[in-house]
Structure 1
Amino acid sequence: MLQIIEQINTYVNNFIWGIPAMICIIGVGLYLSIRTRFIQIRKFPLAVKTVLGRLFRKDEAGDGSMTPFQAVCTALAGTVGTGNIAGVAGAIAIGGPGAVFWMWCSAFLGMCTKFAEVTLAVHFRERNSDGDWVGGPMYYIKNGLSKHWHWLAAAFSLFGVLTVFGTGNATQVNTIITSIDSALFSYGVLSESFAGTFNLIVGIVIAGLVALILLGGIKRIGTVTEKLVPFMALLYIILACGVVAINYRRIPEVFYSIVYGAFSPRSITGGAVGTFFMSMKKGVSRGIFSNEAGLGTGSIAHACADTSDAVKQGLFGIFEVFTDTIVICTLTALVILCSGIPVSYGEAVGAELTIQGFVSIYGNWVTIFTAIAMCSFAFSTILGWGLYGSRCIEFLFHSNKVIKPFMVVYSLVSIIGATIDLGLLWDIAETFNGLMAIPNLIALFLLSGTVVQLVREYFAKKQSKS
């Protein structure tokens, strides 16, 4: 049965992430960048200033919403996860170091794509029956496009509900299990015979914590993520920078392998990794898995923000993609490549490769800290995607009564994620990510004129006030 599922998924995945998909993802990002005159470059300092300014402000959100900073933390919670740790490792192993170059390319264009998604989500959002702000691709399709395009909203929501269980939950829990097991095995605390039972117990505990937070509503999710995300990102960045600093002599060699390997992967990996297209495919797909630019999911969290400025909130999206991919994903790649650990090119690997990079420099004791960082990354992602899934299923059923049953089922998936094999799960998650991107990218292309108009109006108003 698993073989049949794997064959079907491989066929669909190859189609979804084939040349047409690469053209669509990169093409829409480039098209939006040109139309906004590369706002991700022009307004990048403003985006950083806006986020950092919110970091030190203690705002209170209105009913049914989050503060703008809580919204960006919740969106970052959804993006900064296993894609940054296991996803990058897998991309390098299967696509070679050159996959990192294509991650950078997708992130550069993705900064503008994410900006457009967030801006549209806030502009076209609406209140649900509980008075909560709801928005995202399904709402900017519904409220921004004519009726004959509304099937795209239903398609996005359906794929979203299916995606959250794998991308948002099971793969994240699997990474938590891997990191905890690695730490305990290194100290001889955990034996092979007890590992299965221990993993099941951890899965049950995670399921309970997820249910406790998600069932507490939008405000509880925002409160947890605004504390967890800055902590986990800072801890991980410090550890990674230490590895890079110790191996600073290898940095030029590593960057050469990334750039040269992007166009000639065989020459860098000794022929173990195949074609230029495979390197590009893995870099772009895993980059999107990490920063979600093009999926539209992060905009669902931003639509909950207590703000009246759609474009200003959109600037948070630029910062998100930069932090997630240009900073954290790059550091992960440097940890793996600078540390000099052997990489089995052509083989599917996960978080264990990143852990080996840290251990090779700091020793076994660092597994405790990497376990804490990875658990924080993965757990925050589970919370962010729980919100995304609840909004998608609410849109499909036109009722918020389905949210709590969904949250319960979503939480229980954590138990499954703690006890199954990682390889096929990553591939299935990657496929559903691609399916989600299609309706969203079509909508972004059709609504690009609205984005341009909103940008002009916002900065004209801002200039007139100054």
Structure 2
Amino acid sequence: MNNFFERLDAALGSLVGFLWGPPLVTLLVGGGLFFLLYSRLLPYRHLPDGVRLLFRPADSKDEGTLSHFQALSTALSGTLGMGNVAGVAVAISVGGPGAIFWMWVSAILGIATKFYTCTLAVMYRGRDSEGQLQGGPMYIIREALGPRWRPLAYFFALAGLLGTMPIFQVNQLTEIIREAIAVPAGWTGADDHFLFDLLFGLLLAAVVLAVVAGKLPRIGRVTGILVPAMVAGYMLLTAVVLVLHADQVWPALTLIVRDAFTGEAAAGGVLGAVIITGIRRAAFSNEAGIGTEAMAHGAARTREPVREGMVAMLGPIIDTLIVCTCTALVILISGAWSDGDTNGVSLTVNAFNILFLDYSGVILAVLVGVLSLSTVFTFWYYGSKCLGFLIGARHQHHYVWFYLVLVVLGAVGSLSVVIKVIDSMYALMALPTMVASLRLAPRVNQAARAYFARSRDDD
């Protein structure tokens, strides 16, 4: 059995290396740069408008399911959590401190990317087989590009079905609960923990079933409460740690920038590998250009697509530029990253324990655990919509049983295999999302000009 998993891990590693090669990185980074220049910095010039729109009440006459705030919270719940805690730790372990710099670059460009992809998600919403209004790259392609492009829509839906599996979030949530709470309490051993992982996975499956039974409105309400509260709690915890070690913050930032152009700390000194690691982890963190977030923003209750694009572009700022940076600074200042003994969420827990208090891992486990659960809830929504597009919306409710099995498997699975499966699917999702968005970018610019002209007239 061990040989099988070793061969699987090696095969997936080769697939990830192929998919996340220079062509895809060029598509994501070059596409983001194109959006930035083509828009004439429009998303960046209207960031305050995006913040104000969060608190704008939705018109009851508008089509859609979620308010602007709920749509952003739902989209963020799919990114905030393990991507910001375990994902950052993986980036530093694999690509060194310099990988964080390239995460920043990807996030800055991702602001423009999200403006385009999520504006399109509302512009080209479509009806599923049950007549319900839906958004997302598969509907953008179907509604805007016509029958010849339809295979690309199915390609995204299939990759999205597999890419939104909850296995990474559940795997790392299980690990942080086990290492921070269960092992110190004597509930399980540090090495022999399969039974604990299995039981915890079954418990998570029961919680997920209770929440997703309420479908998207309940998920929107839950994430609208959990995400802001837990992000505030996590930011408070990291702020306390960084204030206590304020003299080390600037050296850590300097290390990130210096290593970004040398690649000396990891990847055998290969700069290209450091860049790719940063871009890959940023994609996992904020999903700009991947397309999943467009499914959440496509459900917003609004008649103005550009408004939702402006709300969506706040995601990379909150997710990567703020939360991920705080996590990276804690890890780098602690020095825990340099011994190479831990990876993923365990590295972040060790960093907090070194810098703060021995029981800070328990606080972290609670905060990240709740954020991770919100991601699991959101990923169920994404996956079910992808399945509904593939086989018909009347059958998508069956997805929940497959999803619950994935929750249990994620709890007992191998971190290395889990990361590589998700990375592969994210790469495949990005291809149709970016191709369609680049093709339709002129229509977004046209809609933006019309929207801001109306706004000036209203003023």
Q: Match for residue 73 of structure 1?
A: 73
Q: What is the CA–CA distance in structure 2 between the aligned matches of 1:413 and 1:68, rounded to whole Å?
A: 30
Residue of structure 2 aligned with 1:343, choices 322, 338, 344 = 338
Q: Match for residue 142 of structure 1?
A: 142
Q: What is the CA–CA distance in structure 2 between the aligned matches of 1:226 and 1:329, rounded to whole Å?
A: 20
Q: Match for residue 185 of structure 2?
A: 188
Residue of structure 1 aligned with 2:195, choices 194, 197, 200 = 197
Matches within 5 A, 1:288-437: 288-344=283-339, 349-397=343-391, 399-437=392-430
Q: What is the CA–CA distance in structure 2 between the aligned matches of 1:96 and 1:68, rounded to whole Å?
A: 37
Percent identity at matched positions?
34
String of CA shifts for 1:226-278, please: whole Å, max 9, x gaps: 11111111111111111111111111211111111001021xx3x67431111
Question: Is the Cα contact below 8 Å between 1:65 and 1:132 reproduced in 2?
Answer: no
Q: Match for residue 102 of structure 2?
A: 102
Question: Is the Cα contact below 8 Å between 1:64 and 1:131 reproduced in 2?
Answer: no
Q: Match for residue 133 of structure 1?
A: 133
| Structure 1 residues 231 and 132, CA gap change in structure 2 (3 angstroms) | farther
Q: How far 1:325 sits from its partner (Å)?
A: 0.5
Counterpart of 1:244 in 2: which secondary structure? Answer: helix
Question: Is the Cα contact below 8 Å between 1:121 and 1:137 reproduced in 2?
Answer: yes
Are 2:45 and 1:42 aligned? yes
Q: What is the CA–CA distance in structure 1 between the aligned matches of 2:267 and 2:183, rounded to whole Å?
A: 30
Q: How far 1:180 sits from its partner (Å)?
A: 0.7
Are 2:244 and 1:246 aligned? yes
Q: How far 1:176 sits from its partner (Å)?
A: 1.0
| Structure 1 residues 120 and 411, CA gap change in structure 2 (3 angstroms) | same
Counterpart of 1:265 in 2: which secondary structure? Answer: coil
Residue segments in structure 1 that go unaligned for 5+ positions in a row: none
Counterpart of 1:418 in 2: which secondary structure? Answer: helix
Q: What is the CA–CA distance in structure 2 between the aligned matches of 1:419 and 1:135, rounded to whole Å?
A: 33
Q: What is the CA–CA distance in structure 2 between the aligned matches of 1:295 and 1:363, rounded to whole Å?
A: 37
Are 2:282 and 1:287 aligned? yes
Question: Is the Cα contact below 8 Å between 1:68 and 1:313 reproduced in 2?
Answer: yes
Question: Is the Cα contact below 8 Å between 2:168 and 2:419 reproduced in 1?
Answer: yes
Q: Match for residue 213 of structure 2?
A: 215
Question: Is the Cα contact below 8 Å between 2:128 and 2:388 reproduced in 1?
Answer: no
Question: Aligned partner of 1:183: which letter?
Answer: A
| Structure 1 residues 37 and 210, CA gap change in structure 2 (3 angstroms) | same
Q: What is the CA–CA distance in structure 1 between the aligned matches of 2:192 and 2:9, rounded to whole Å?
A: 29
Question: Is the Cα contact below 8 Å between 2:58 and 2:68 reproduced in 1?
Answer: no
Question: Is the Cα contact below 8 Å between 1:179 and 1:371 reproduced in 2?
Answer: yes
| Structure 1 residues 60 and 352, CA gap change in structure 2 (3 angstroms) | farther
Question: Aligned partner of 1:400: which letter?
Answer: A
Q: How far 1:45 sits from its partner (Å)?
A: 1.8
Question: What TM-score comes out, normalization by structure 2 length?
Answer: 0.95
String of CA shifts for 1:364-394, please: whole Å, max 9, x gaps: 2212210111111211111111111111111
Are 2:228 and 1:230 aligned? yes
Deviates more, 1:319-328 or 1:41-50: 41-50
Q: How far 1:61 sits from its partner (Å)?
A: 9.2
Q: How far 1:187 sits from its partner (Å)?
A: 3.3
Question: Aligned partner of 1:162: which letter?
Answer: L
Counterpart of 1:306 in 2: which secondary structure? Answer: coil
Q: What is the CA–CA distance in structure 2 between the aligned matches of 1:329 and 1:243, rounded to whole Å?
A: 15
Counterpart of 1:178 in 2: which secondary structure? Answer: helix
| Structure 1 residues 226 and 137, CA gap change in structure 2 (3 angstroms) | same
| Structure 1 residues 429 and 251, CA gap change in structure 2 (3 angstroms) | same
Q: What is the CA–CA distance in structure 2 between the aligned matches of 1:85 and 1:243, rounded to whole Å?
A: 15
Question: Is the Cα contact below 8 Å between 1:95 and 1:278 reproduced in 2?
Answer: yes
Q: How far 1:309 sits from its partner (Å)?
A: 1.2
Are 2:434 and 1:441 aligned? yes
Question: Aligned partner of 1:454: which letter?
Answer: A
Q: How far 1:50 sits from its partner (Å)?
A: 2.2
Deviates more, 1:336-345 or 1:131-140: 336-345
Q: How far 1:132 sits from its partner (Å)?
A: 3.4
Q: Match for residue 2 of structure 1?
A: 5
Question: Is the Cα contact below 8 Å between 1:64 and 1:219 reproduced in 2?
Answer: no
CA RMSD of aligned residues (A): 1.9
Question: Aligned partner of 1:385: which letter?
Answer: F
Q: What is the CA–CA distance in structure 1 between the aligned matches of 2:9 and 2:193, rounded to whole Å?
A: 26
Q: Which runs of 4+ in 1 moved over 4 A?
A: 57-64
Aligned residues: 455
Counterpart of 2:242 in 1: which secondary structure? Answer: helix
Q: What is the CA–CA distance in structure 2 between the aligned matches of 1:272 and 1:412, rounded to whole Å?
A: 35
Q: What is the CA–CA distance in structure 1 between the aligned matches of 2:344 and 2:311, rounded to whole Å?
A: 29
Question: Is the Cα contact below 8 Å between 2:20 and 2:276 reproduced in 1?
Answer: yes
Question: Is the Cα contact below 8 Å between 1:63 and 1:132 reproduced in 2?
Answer: no
Q: How far 1:2 sits from its partner (Å)?
A: 2.2
